[in-house]
Amino acid sequence: MDARAKASPMPPAPQRSAPEARDVAAIGQAHLTRARMAEVLGTLGVALLAVCVLGVMFGSVRIDFLRALTQPSSPDHAILFAARMPRVLMGAVVGAILAAVGAALQALVRNPLAEGGTLGISSGAAFGAILALVFAYRVGGGAGIVPLAGFAAALLSTLAVYRLGQMHGRIEPFSLLLVGVIFNTFWSALILLINSVVNLYQTRSILFWLVGSLEAPTYREVAAVGALGAGGFVWLMWHARDMNLLSLGDDPARDLGVDVDAVRRAIFIATSLMIGAAVSVSGMIGFVGLIVPHILRLAFGADHRLLMPASFVAGAAFLVAADLIARLVIAPGELPVGVITALCGGPFFIYLLRREGHRGIAL
């Protein structure tokens, strides 16, 4: 009991103090209201729109928008509609997926340092996708097998990391992260193993997967990944309140009416599906799922009913912005966007690790 609480006199009887009691609803940021949800999501939505407009306006070359819109045969038109727009849209879709998945995984393992990248799930998905890519070409399979293999490998990774991160039935935050590190190393080794038996071009493509990039997507890819992402997101949203309860621990969540196993299964499958889809088109773009939910949590609170949609929108804005930077810094050449997110995310992760370590992650 801290000193301040001791010093304050105990109000006599609750009934008598009731008339003067402050109305809880008036305590602004203390809980989630519809108005606050609308305000936050509205603001983030406007920010996303603004970033997308910037992303479409600027690029490695300057274009004439009038000509782009009026002359369908002009290069300006092609740059705008065939190159820039699908890329901005793909950035938004992948960013939304990565951030929402990060927030959901953090609730699942009760650890704000969790993310597809840090838990080794993205590299698992990348391994699955690369394996499918190499073998699909060998046996002449369709392109649809690549995201599917990514999903399967992501699910396998998630389950394995989740099981191995537990000690005596409890998730230990640091052993979980260590398992994630080891999984990353393990999958990377397998990827390099594949790398050493394929030809020169596939080698280059594999490298490109490892860094993560949004280069040259098609509208069809955007639509396919967008549909998977939206589906997974709705599924996760359905369990957003359960994520709040799950973060208290399995027993309290169960006592508050959560079917813990069902929620966990939903998070496993939905996040794996989403990561598999995102990784199959963009490779491993790290740290988005770490940075975005964390900042949103600081700004708008921990309630997943707001955190999840806010991450979805803000993650989209974040990756579009990061990709804009990646396209501009060495124009007309370009950096893979994974370089930008890793440059932001690495130091951020260290900061979080020190902070959480200092506080002793409450479980």
Partner 1 sequence: MSPPLLAARGVAAGYHQRRVLHEVSLQVAPGELLAIVGPNGAGKSTLLKVLSGALQPWGGVVELEGRPLQTFDRRALARRLASLGQESGSAFAFTVLEMVLMGRAPHLGALRLEGERDLKVAQQALERFDLLPLAARSINEISGGERRRVLLARVLAQEPQVALLDEPTAFLDLKHAAEIFSRLAQLRDERAMAVVATLHDLNAAALYADRVLLLKDGRAVGCGRPEEVLTRDNLRLVYETEVYVGRNPATGTVMVLPAAR
Partner 2 sequence: MAVLMLGAALAAWACARQPIPATPGQRIVSLAPSITETLFAVGAGAQVVGVSQYCDYPRAAARLPKVGSFLTPNVEAIVGLRPSLIIGLDTASNDRELRALARMGYRLLLVDDDSLEGIENGIGRIGAMTGHGAQAQQVLDSIRARMRTVRARLERVPPRKVLMVVGHDPLVAVGGGYLDELLRMADCINIGAGLGTQWPRLSIEYIIAAAPEVVLDGQMGSDPQTPAGFWSRYPNLPAVRNHRVFGYDENPVLRPGPRVAQTLEILAALTHPEIFGLPARSPGGRR
| Site for partner 1, rule CB under 8 A | 1-2, 5, 8, 10-11, 14, 17-18, 21-25, 27-34, 37, 106-107, 110-112, 173, 237-242, 244-245, 247-249, 251-252, 254-259, 297, 301-303, 305, 359, 361-363
Tokens describing residue 301: 């609170």
To the nearest 10°, report the CA torsion of 167, 172, 174, 176.
70
For residues 1 and 197, which CB has a smaller minimum distance to partner 2 in the complex? 197
For residues 124 and 293, which CB has a smaller minimum distance to partner 2 in the complex? 124
The answer to whether 201 contacts partner 2 (rule: CB under 8 A) is yes
> What is the nearest approach in angstroms of partner 2 to the Cβ of residue 135?
9
Q: How far apart are CA 121 and CA 150, in angstroms?
A: 10
Q: What amino acid occupies position 262? A: A
For residues 10 and 197, which CB has a smaller minimum distance to partner 1 in the complex? 10
For residues 27 and 197, which CB has a smaller minimum distance to partner 1 in the complex? 27
Q: Are 84 and 219 in contact (CB under 8 A)?
A: no
**Neighbouring C-alpha atoms within 13 Å toward the C-beta of 94:** 35
CA 230 to chain centre: 13
> What is the nearest approach in angstroms of partner 1 to the Cβ of residue 107?
8
Positions in 69-88 near partner 2 (CB under 8 A)? 73-75, 77-79, 82-84
**Neighbouring C-alpha atoms within 13 Å toward the C-beta of 30:** 7
For residues 7 and 139, which CB has a smaller minimum distance to partner 1 in the complex? 7
Contact pattern from residue 241 through residue 280 relative to partner 2, giving x for each residue in contact according to CB under 8 A and a dash for the rest: ----------------------------------------
Q: Name the one range near partner 2 by CB under 8 A: 40-48, 90-98, 196-204, 261-269.
A: 196-204
Q: How far apart are CA 115 and CA 235, in angstroms?
A: 18
Binds partner 2 by CB under 8 A, chosen from 66, 69, 159, 216: 216
Binds partner 2 by CB under 8 A, chosen from 46, 53, 192, 193: 193
> What is the nearest approach in angstroms of partner 1 to the Cβ of residue 112?
6
Token look-up 């293999």 returns 149
Q: Are 320 and 48 in contact (CB under 8 A)?
A: yes
Between the two ends of the chain, the Cα-to-Cα distance in Å is 20
Write the burial class of residue 169 (CB in 10 Å: 0-12 exposed, 13-18 middle, 19+ buried).
exposed
